Amino acid sequence: MVGSDFVQSRAREALDAQLVVTPDRIDYPENAKPSVPKTYKILLANTGGTDLTFTSIVDIEDSSKGACAGPTGWMTVSGAPAAIPAGGIDSMTVTLNAGGVITCAPTVLFGKVRFTYTPPDQTIDFNIQFTVADTIVAPVWDTVSTGCIDLSVGTNGNMGQNGIGNVNLDFAGSPAECDTGLNSRGNAAVYLRDASPIFIRKPSAGIYRGSWSL
């Protein structure tokens, strides 16, 4: 009976509407200059076995941080469909820094587009982290090596590149290393996962500012 219930459950899931959003988010390093809006085309696919009907599509502005934090109305949604047939694809647009409302930098905008649809009742959040800045310089990575160890370093001051592996002060590339791969002692390909120098400055009395790239 348990196996039969499982099969029936999977069969029902196959008949449900299933929304797939592409891209699945807007995140760093996506950006625009101050006072300049940026519009994205978002693809909406129904990979389920029945027609999908939207109950609501809502843009939610969670917060903003930085020099021009505060103004609202920085996100708009347009062209959203009311429904998508089974196996169908549609699209909509999301505009960030709409109307150029964020006029100075750096400012980071946090929000989401919330899709609610049936059948059955389901909700998907399309998360957004968008930077308003005059210029964003992407880090460049290189590897510092000795005869037996390697370390990934970046122009942003980072070391380890979030545990990328084999370039993390480990000995995985050395023929003398006997402890390799994943085991009960951890991942031998990552000794130093992620780090950076930390700078603390005191630009004026009572004010301290820190800089790091972790």
Quote the pLDDT of residue 81: 98
Average pLDDT rounded to a whole number, residues 153-179: 83
Lowest mean pLDDT among 84-98, 101-115, 191-205: 191-205
What is the model's pTM?
0.71
Does 69 lie in the same domain as 44? yes
* Residue position matching structure tokens 């196959």: 14
Within a domain: residue 12? no
Per residue in 50-105, pLDDT (tens digit) is 999 999 999 999 999 999 999 999 999 999 999 999 999 999 999 999 999 999 99
pLDDT at 183 over 80: no
Indicate whether 202 and 101 sit together in one domain: no
Decide if 6 is inside a domain.
Answer: no
CATH assignment of the domain containing 123: 2.60.40.10
Instruction: Summarize pLDDT for 6-26 with one digit per residue, the tens.
Output: 444 444 556 899 999 999 999
Q: Residue 176 has what pLDDT?
A: 67
Distance CA 166, CA 121 (A): 45
Asked if residue 145 and residue 112 are part of one domain, the reply reads: no
Give me the number of domains the chain comprises. 2
Domain C-terminal end among 90, 105, 132? 132
Q: Which two tokens stand for residue 55?
A: 């109950």
- Taking the C-alpha atoms of residue 54 and residue 141, their distance in angstroms, rounded to an integer, is 44
Average pLDDT over residues 150-162: 91
Domain boundary among 111, 132, 153: 132
Query: Are residues 25 and 110 located together in one domain of the fold?
Result: yes
Check whether residue 60 and residue 118 sit in a common domain. yes
Burial of 35 per CB tally in 10 Å (0-12, 13-18, 19+): middle
Quick check: is 188 in a domain? yes
Give the residue from 110, 132, 154 where a domain finishes: 132
Give the per-residue pLDDT at 204: 87
pLDDT at 6: 43
Instruction: Write out the residue range of the structural domain in which residue 198 sits.
Output: 141-211
